[in-house]
Amino acid sequence: MRKSFFCIDAHTCGNPVRLVAGGGPLLPHLPIAERRDIFVRDHDWIRHALMFEPRGHDVMSGAIIYPAHRQDCDFAVIFIEVSGCLPMCGAGTIGLVTAAIEQGLVTPRVPGRLSIETPAGRVDIQYEKPGEFVESVRMFNVASYLHAADVEVEVPGLGKLLVDIAYGGNYYAVIEPQAAWSGLDGMSAMDIVELSRKLRSALSHICDPVHPQDERISGVHHAIWCDKPVSANADGRGAVFYGDKAIDRSPGGTGTSARMAQLHGKGRLKTGEGFRQESLIGTIFEGRIEEETEIGGFRGIMPSVSGWARIIGHNTIFVDDRDPLAHGFQIG
């Protein structure tokens, strides 16, 4: 049996986004966090088939749009990536909004504005579409916070690191230059991957955060290695690691949110101030702390992040049961 999926391929500031516009599974009309659980239980082969080789690659990310369960949202989304079905993906959100608006998949109730039901909560959107194309998207992300500061962890090959744990839709280990790590200069992508794996493994025995309002969101699966910017138009630069060996090509939407939450929690970024995050390839997200909030006893922020995306093309993908590699593979 051969199954087909109609996809709109795009990239957000360099990071791929595959919007599944046709062929996604029918799911019961439940809150999207519950639908995500059903998808993972019964349909995760779709994620493997569309994200992994030979149809995808190590940094592939995507999304499937569904009708919203919440009355205050225009639609709902399940994020699919090589690393799993994330609660939230910033670059994915910017990409899917761009593709959905330009291709007419979504009709906003208010032009220039959307509200999206994500597994992490409601995410509000403002987008600029002066003509035929969407030129920029600003997402008002979920509440973000600094979970733990200056966590000491022994990393093989580096020694003792001080790491901050911050949440911006996903939990991040945030690493800044220090005695044991001088910064990103001279590091290859493979260096970042290898160190991130070691850090994540060591950290799992020390710190295992659980979201104070949703216990389904837990664990530190991402890392962001921070350094001074290369561009004069940026305030900082970061290499975002996720999955088994993925380095985000964009500055990272949830990563930028977590970075701002970390800086705010340590008194280095104030409400109303902006933070422009540069990626490894030089693209920039513009972040801003919109207001302060409280998350289950933690002092936090409501961040926004602005970026752009471009549609690459349309893609009809076949998954044939006769193919021994139908459900994808990944080389370690």
How sure is the predictor about 139, in pLDDT bands with cuts at 50, 70 and 90?
very high
As a whole number, the mean pLDDT across the chain is: 97
For 4-48, how does the pLDDT look when each residue is reduced to its tens digit (9 = 90+)?
Answer: 999 999 999 999 999 999 999 999 999 999 999 999 999 999 999
For 144-201, how does the pLDDT look when each residue is reduced to its tens digit (9 = 90+)?
Answer: 999 999 999 999 989 999 999 999 999 999 999 999 999 999 899 999 999 999 999 9
Which position among 7, 13, 73, 89 bears the catalytic label?
A: 89
Would the pLDDT of 223 be above 90? Answer: yes
How sure is the predictor about 315, in pLDDT bands with cuts at 50, 70 and 90?
very high
What domains can be seen in the chain, in order of their start residue? 2-135+310-320 (3.10.310.10), 144-306 (3.10.310.10)
Question: Catalytic residue at 89?
Answer: yes
d(CA 262, CA 264): 5
Helix (H, G, I), strand (E, B) or coil at 158: coil
- Of the two residues 299 and 332, the one the predictor is more confident about is 299
How sure is the predictor about 73, in pLDDT bands with cuts at 50, 70 and 90?
very high
How sure is the predictor about 81, in pLDDT bands with cuts at 50, 70 and 90?
very high
Residue 164 and residue 203 in contact, taking contact as beta carbons nearer than 8 Å:
no
d(CA 219, CA 213): 14
Phi first, then psi: what are they for 47, rounded to 5°? Answer: -60, -45
Q: Which whole number is the average pLDDT over 112-138?
A: 98
Instruction: Pick the closest to residue 168 from 113, 111, 86, 235 (CA basis).
Output: 86
pTM of the model: 0.96
**pLDDT of res. 1:** 80
Would the pLDDT of 332 be above 80? Answer: no
Question: Peptide bond preceding 177: is omega within 30 degrees of 0, i.e. cis?
Answer: no
Pairing of strands 15-22, 113-118: unpaired
For 228-266, how does the pLDDT look when each residue is reduced to its tens digit (9 = 90+)?
Answer: 999 999 999 999 999 889 999 999 999 999 999 999 999
